[in-house]
Amino acid sequence: MPLAFAALLLALTLTSCSRPDGRLAERAHQLLDQGKLQQAQEALQDGFRQFPQSVALRQERLHLNLLAGQPELAAAEAHQILQTQPSAQPYRLPLRDPSPAIRSLAIRAFALDPPPSPSPRRTLGNALRDSDPTVRREAIEATRILPAADAAPLLRQATQDSDWLTRASAARLLGNRADPTAIPTLFSMLNDKDSYVRRFARRSLLELATLSKPDAYLPALQSKDRTTQVVAALALARLNDGRGLNILLEEMANPLGIERTEGVKSIVRIQDPQVLPAVRKATTDQDSQVRMVALIALGLLHDQESAPRMKQISNDSSAPQEVRLAAGKAIELLSQPTPQPNPK
């Protein structure tokens, strides 16, 4: 810390403590440091009876609320401080507190009612460089208060965090932000070493599909990574784009393919002669969930040729109950009128 700044801080501290309310605030601060929360609260109550507008006392009550795990009350206290003294920075000391728990709760309180100075982006950016992962996680969640343009670089920064929970949160929030420019970043996260990070990246990529153009996903079809190819194909299918159909058909035909269920749900969106035979074949899949989805899909497609197969399954006592129920539902769907396209 520069000597001039340290001297100024010391001078301000001495000036504050020289005032009667400052001395009372200092006494409350000492009690808080000693973990004597009840005594500190009583000291603050006595102080407010004498100095109801004291910023120093409010600052200590903000600290007390954080220690008590009540960020909502801390945010309300910060608001009152700024009403009395607009130039104050009520979170400056809590965000530098030695306790990660206090720093984390301070970020949560900050996000409830962000003060204008320092800027929320700067505050959260600093918190994302905190040494403790709990603080960084709280900061990444708090990016919801930022405009998309300010949040984007912080979210991308968090995708490289050493903490897997922070990376997973970043992947989830990139999808929630509905920003298609995050698609390349999310594709890179499909190779993350943590399965939860990969799962949230996949989910966000599919969520963003309906907000994007097919061109955003086409390059990933050429990837050497199979997961990347499949997720890109699933996203394209959501756009009724069949350029990834062969990849999905291969995935469905692979007994070890982990996206077989989603593959069935997706290919029925695509108008292609290969779709119906593939869905019919999926009714024999080893996974009961795949079979259920395939049967319902055939019913929705009004595939009358599959009626005997549906009846066979619904009467097969060796089949899982949920599969038999799905076959019965598919038969019911076959009897319903075929939906007619809306006239243009």
User: Per-residue pLDDT tens for 190-248?
Assistant: 999 999 999 999 999 999 998 999 999 999 999 999 999 999 999 999 999 999 999 99
Peptide bond into 94 cis (omega under 30): no
- Count of alpha carbons within 13 Å of 122, Cβ hemisphere only? 7
Q: For residues 68 and 17, what is the distance between their CA atoms, to the nearest angstrom? A: 25
Residue 7's pLDDT is what? 46
Supply angle C-alpha 222, 171, 120, rounded to 5: 135
User: Per-residue pLDDT tens for 261-309?
Assistant: 999 999 999 999 999 999 999 999 999 999 999 999 999 999 999 999 9
User: Per-residue pLDDT tens for 132-141?
Assistant: 999 999 999 9
Mean pLDDT (the chain) is 91
User: Per-residue pLDDT tens for 102-140?
Assistant: 999 999 999 999 998 889 999 999 999 999 999 999 999
Q: For residues 12 and 73, what is the distance between their CA atoms, to the nearest angstrom? A: 26
Q: For residues 177 and 166, what is the distance between their CA atoms, to the nearest angstrom? A: 16
What torsion do the CA atoms of 248, 249, 252, 253 make, to the nearest 10 degrees?
-140
* Residue 244 structure tokens: 């990834």
User: Per-residue pLDDT tens for 72-85?
Assistant: 999 999 999 999 99
DSSP 8-state code for residue 337: P
**Where residue 18 falls among pLDDT bands split at 50, 70, 90?**
low
Across residues 76-98, what is the average pLDDT? 95
pLDDT surpassing 80 at residue 1? no
User: Which one, of 164, 92, 100, 99, lies nearest residue 132 by Cα?
Assistant: 100
**Where residue 342 falls among pLDDT bands split at 50, 70, 90?**
low
User: Which one, of 173, 160, 161, 111, lies nearest residue 134 by Cα?
Assistant: 161
Residue 27's pLDDT is what? 85
User: Which one, of 164, 168, 239, lies nearest residue 204 by Cα?
Assistant: 168
* Residue 84 structure tokens: 């009395």
pLDDT surpassing 70 at residue 8? no
For residues 166 and 177, which has the higher predicted lDDT (pLDDT)?
166
Q: What percent of the chain has pLDDT over 90?
A: 79
Residue 47's pLDDT is what? 84
pLDDT surpassing 50 at residue 12? no
